[in-house]
Amino acid sequence: MKVLITGGAGFIGSHLAEQYIKRGDDVYIIDDLSTGSIDNIAHLQGHAHFHYHLDTVTNQRLTAELVDLCDVVFHLAAAVGVKLIVESPVRTIETNIGGTEVVLQQCAKKQKRVLVASTSEVYGKSKQIPFSEEDDLVMGATNKGRWSYACSKAIDEFLAIAYWKEKRVPTVVVRLFNTVGPKQTGRYGMVIPNFVQQALKGEDLTVYGDGQQSRCFTHVSDVVGALMKLIEHPQAVGEVYNIGSTQEVSILQLAERIKTLADSDSEIKFLSYDKAYEEGFEDMHRRVPNIGKIHQLIGYQPTFTLDEILQSVIAHHRNKLTAQRGTPAPSFKA
């Protein structure tokens, strides 16, 4: 199979590319490295089945050529990370909506199967736990930057479903719930890489708000496995699927667990949302998926426990620190 992955140098895209390469497929990626990193795909470069284009998906000619060449398309290119979204709302909205428009238009020309990655953010401030695909989406006011991400992704979903309904383009939408694992950067504010790096360096772990907000973290391998099954499943077309874990943890408990597993002396400090993001920032208190729909279709069940996830991320960052310093990281307890 020939697989096109937009955002293929990103955290999830690069793990997906690796799995297809391992399976013996041809992988084509487009990535402008705006949030992706060349380090994520360094080990794939030079591989006979790996083809890399340093460009944006809004380059219509290139996207058209690659869509034409490939059998299936994963559209993962997007502006991600709450910090980035709050700091660069124009880029977030334009990248997310403009990029998806181009990809869907090109897929429509050739009737190519395309999976569009959306996010659990679209559930917004909904309190109807767990979140199911048919639930109402509850957005905040438009002067609160965070919601621009959710709205831009909701528009992407509407577009993908509209392309199926109106033009019979085989589209699938997935809502990803806090996907984590090795290689995820903390640069855009994601909590696990941030806490792990702070714990390993002996710095304070910065818990935003009161730490009682909760999330369910999914290992990237579980997500990638689900994406590969969904894109080939005929009944997935025109549908929306949650992909996540149901193991809920508060952010304060998460900080404590990371400290323990990393054997770190760091302290836990609280930082107000206003200081961490912007004045008036609104967080989601709980975010738990209902995964019944995807379980029923492909038997999806997350396989990594939270501890296993954290251990894999700690090991990744320990190795990185050791490589940077040339010696074992000094801030662990003796």
**Cα 139 from Cα 102, distance rounded (Å):** 26
Q: Which is nearer to ligand UDP, 13 or 81 (CB)?
A: 81
Residue of 96, 63, 62, 64 whose CA lies nearest to 79: 96
Q: Which 64-83 positions form the footprint of ligand UDP (CB under 6 A)?
A: 82
Could you give phi then psi for residue 268, rounded to 5 degrees? Answer: -100, 125
Q: Which is nearer to ligand UDP, 37 or 206 (CB)?
A: 206
Query: Taking CB under 6 A as the criterion, which residues in 129-188 touch ligand UDP?
Result: 178
Q: Which stretch binds ligand UDP (CB under 6 A): 5-13, 124-132, 205-213, 309-317?
A: 205-213
Name the minimum Å distance from CB 12 to ligand UDP: 14
Q: State how far the Cα of 251 lies from the Cα of 285, in Å rounded to an integer.
A: 10
Q: Which of 7, 170, 189, 225 binds ligand UDP (CB under 6 A)?
A: 189
> Residue 185, SS3?
coil
Which of 215, 219, 259, 317 contacts ligand UDP by CB under 6 A? 215
Question: Which stretches does DSSP call E strand in the chain?
Answer: 2-6, 26-31, 50-54, 72-75, 113-119, 171-176, 179-180, 205-208, 214-216, 218-219, 240-243, 248-250, 268-271
How far is residue 328's CA from residue 332's CA, in Å, rounded to a whole number? Answer: 9
Least gap, CB of 254 to ligand UDP (angstroms): 8
Which segments of 249-298 does DSSP mark as H helices, in order? 251-261, 273-276, 292-298
* Cα 13 versus chain centre, distance: 9
Angle between helices 146-167 and 89-110 (to 10 degrees): 10
The 222-251 site mask, x for binding ligand UDP (CB under 6 A), equals -----------------------------x
The least CB distance from residue 328 to ligand UDP, in Å, is 25
Q: What is the DSSP letter of 264?
A: B
Q: Are 77 and 10 in contact (CB under 8 A)?
A: yes
Number of neighbouring beta carbons within 10 Å of residue 33 = 13
Least CB distance from residue 177 to ligand UDP, whole Å? 8
End-to-end Cα spacing for the chain? 50
Interface residue with ligand UDP among 34, 37, 132, 206 (CB under 6 A) is 206
Q: How far apart are CA 275 and CA 332, in angstroms?
A: 29
Catalytic choice (20, 123, 149, 163): 149
Q: Of 190, 199, 230, 314, which one interacts with ligand UDP (CB under 6 A)?
A: 190
Torsion sign across C-alpha atoms 304, 307, 309, 315: negative
Residue closer to ligand UDP (CB basis): 26 or 204:
204
Question: Is there a catalytic annotation at residue 163?
Answer: no
Q: Considering only residues 270-309, where is the footprint of ligand UDP by CB under 6 A?
A: 283
Taking the least distance from each CB to ligand UDP, the nearer of 131 and 208 is 208
- C-beta closer to ligand UDP: residue 21 or 252: 252
Interaction between residue 208 and ligand UDP (CB under 6 A):
yes
Give whichever of 19 and 37 is closer to ligand UDP, judged by the CB atom.
Answer: 37
Tell me the catalytic residues.
149
Rule CB under 6 A: which residues touch ligand UDP? 82, 178, 189-191, 194, 206-208, 213, 215, 251, 283
